[in-house]
């Protein structure tokens, strides 16, 4: 039982990380129907900026809490600027191009950002400075740390905040209007350029936050760390229904849990026929089954066939 509980905790934390990253994907997709594949790289840059800033400040003798906050701030600012620049440079000129074009551009931007990060930070793995005191808890034989609790809380709070933003503010209303029909929204006086830019900036800020969380949790960073993370988060967003904020959260947590339980129990369930290297199969079988019965994901809205 303690093992089961431990696996649930593992999955919950991993899933919350996926969810945090998935929120960035889903936000941009919800408004302009674009899958921003460079989002994983924004997360990566958030982590690396934090390492540089917090690491330098720590060396200069600043207290850990202050250095950590400064690192987080710097990461959020850099990523917001990056998100804005990405939209302005790579996606805005292609807004009226066929849908495949911005998608390919997004993949291209992802590669550009990876290589840029490789040139700036080098190929080596970097250790993330310990920003949080290591506090271990034990509950019924399962171990967990303070950072794990923080990750779950932060991603839940972020989702709540985003829901408030989208459904309770004027900017949120403009976002929803743009999502429904950009042309009509602009006729109603919505500056859709600003709304879309805002979506990118906010999504990237979340990416930075996710980056800092990932860094603090695993204490390791690398210029390619965003790729797999982005792919998994994208899967989570699709599972939950891409474009839906609560769906991203649910999809993320679900994916994390499926992975953890899959890796933990697949061997026992198949009598040792399949080992833990098949853990991804579990996740993707669930994804396929969900998409077969609900093509728009768990929480996704039904979209009409536009063609």
Partner 1 sequence: MQAKLSAIAFSVAAAFALAGCGQKEEPKAAAPAVPAGKPEVVVKLGHVAPMTGPQAHLGKDNENGAVLAVEELNAKGMEIGGAKVKFELINEDDAADPKQGAIVAQKLVDAKVNGVIGHLNSGTTIPASKLYSDAGVPQISGSATNPKYTQQGFKTAFRVMANDVQQGKILGEFAVKQGVKTVAIVDDRTAYGQGLADEFRKAAEASGLKVVATEYTNDKATDFKAILTKIKSTKAELVFYGGMDAQGGPMAKQMKELGIKAKFLGGDGVCTPEFMKLGGEATEGNFCSLPGMPLEKLAKGPAFKDKFTKKFNTEIQLYAPYVYDAVMVMADSMKRADSVDPAKFLPEVGKTNYDGVTAQIQFDELGDLKGGAISIYQYKGGKLEYVETLGGTPIETAKAEVKEAVVEVKDAAKAVAGAATAVGKEVAAEAKDAAKAATEAGKDAVKAGAEAVKNAADATKAAVEKK
Provide the binding-site residues for partner 1, judged by CB under 8 A: 3, 6-7, 10-11, 14, 118, 123-125, 127, 136, 138, 143, 145, 218-220, 222, 224-225, 228, 259-264, 267, 275-277, 279
- What DSSP line would sit under the chain, residue for residue? -HHHHHHHHHHHHHHHHHHHHHHHHHHHHHHH----TTHHHHHHHHHHHHHHHHHHHHHTT--HHHHHHHHHHHHHHHHHHHHHHHIIIIIGGGTTS-THHHHHHHHHHHHHHHHHHHHHH-SS-EEPP--S---EEEETTEEEEHHHHHHHHHHHHHHHHHHHHHHHSHHHHHHHHHHH-HHHHHHTT--HHHHHHHHHHHHHHHHHHHHHHHHHHH-EE-TTHHHHHHHHHHHHHHHH-TT-HHHHHHHHHHHHHHHHHHHHHHHHHTTTSS-GGGHHHHHHHHHHHHHHH-TT-SSPPP-----
Distance in Å, CB of 23 to partner 1, minimum: 19
- What is the smallest separation between the CB atom of 281 and partner 1, expressed in angstroms? 12
Of 117 and 208, the one with the shorter C-beta distance to partner 1 is: 117
* CA 65/CA 275 separation, integer angstroms: 42
Cβ 204 to partner 1 shortest distance, Å: 22
Closer to partner 1 by Cβ: residue 26 or 47: 47
Nearer to partner 1, 1 or 288 (CB): 1
Nearest-approach distance from CB 125 to partner 1, in angstroms: 6
C-beta closer to partner 1: residue 27 or 229: 229
Question: For partner 1, which is the closer residue by CB, 162 or 214?
Answer: 214
Task: Write down the least CB distance from residue 219 to partner 1, Å.
Answer: 7
Instruction: Judge whether 29 and 237 are in contact, CB under 8 Å.
Output: yes
13 vs 79, beta carbon nearer partner 1: 13
Q: How far is the CB of 17 from partner 1 (least distance, A)?
A: 9
Nearer to partner 1, 153 or 228 (CB): 228
Q: Which residues contact 154 (CB under 8 A, 6 or more apart)?
A: 16, 20, 209, 213
Radius of gyration for the alpha carbons in the chain, expressed in angstroms and rounded: 20
Q: Could you tell me the smallest distance in angstroms from the CB atom of residue 13 to partner 1? A: 8
In the complex, least distance from residue 126 CB atom to partner 1, rounded to whole angstroms: 8
Contact status, residue 290 vs residue 297, Cβ threshold 8 Å: yes
- Least Å distance, CB 217 to partner 1, is 9
Between residues 135 and 153, which has the closer beta carbon with respect to partner 1? Answer: 135
Cβ proximity to partner 1: between 61 and 272 the closer is 272
**Rounded to whole angstroms, what are the CA distances from 67 to 70, 93, 106, 134, 146?**
5, 38, 33, 17, 19
């Amino acid at each position: 039982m303690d093992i089961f509980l431990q696996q649930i905790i593992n999955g919950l934390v991993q899933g919350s990380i996926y969810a945090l990253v998935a929120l960035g994907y889903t936000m941009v997709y919800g408004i302009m129907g674009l899958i921003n594949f460079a989002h994983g790289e924004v997360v990566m840059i958030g982590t690396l900026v934090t390492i540089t800033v917090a690491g330098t400040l720590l060396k200069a003798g600043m207290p850990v809490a202050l250095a950590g906050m400064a690192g987080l701030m710097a990461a959020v600012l850099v990523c917001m600027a990056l998100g804005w620049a990405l939209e302005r440079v790579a996606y805005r000129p292609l807004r009226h191009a066929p849908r495949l074009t911005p998608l390919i551009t997004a993949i291209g931007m992802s590669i550009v950002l990876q290589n840029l990060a490789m040139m700036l930070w080098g190929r080596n793995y970097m250790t993330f400075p310990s920003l949080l005191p290591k506090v271990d808890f034990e509950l019924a034989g399962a171990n967990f740390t303070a950072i794990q609790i923080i990750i779950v809380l932060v991603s839940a709070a972020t989702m709540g905040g985003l829901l408030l933003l989208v459904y309770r503010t004027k900017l949120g209303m403009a976002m929803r209007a743009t999502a429904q029909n950009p042309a009509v929204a602009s006729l109603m006086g919505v500056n859709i350029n600003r709304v879309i830019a805002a979506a990118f900036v906010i999504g990237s800020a979340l990416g930075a936050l996710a980056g800092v969380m990932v860094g603090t949790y695993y204490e390791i960073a690398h210029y390619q760390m965003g790729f797999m993370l982005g792919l998994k988060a994208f899967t989570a967003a699709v599972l939950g229904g891409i474009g839906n904020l609560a769906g991203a959260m649910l999809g993320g947590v679900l994916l994390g849990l499926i992975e953890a339980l899959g890796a933990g129990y697949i061997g026992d369930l198949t009598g040792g026929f399949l080992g833990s290297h098949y853990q991804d199969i579990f996740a993707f079988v669930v994804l396929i089954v969900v998409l077969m019965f609900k093509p728009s994901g768990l929480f996704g809205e039904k979209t009409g066939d536009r063609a």
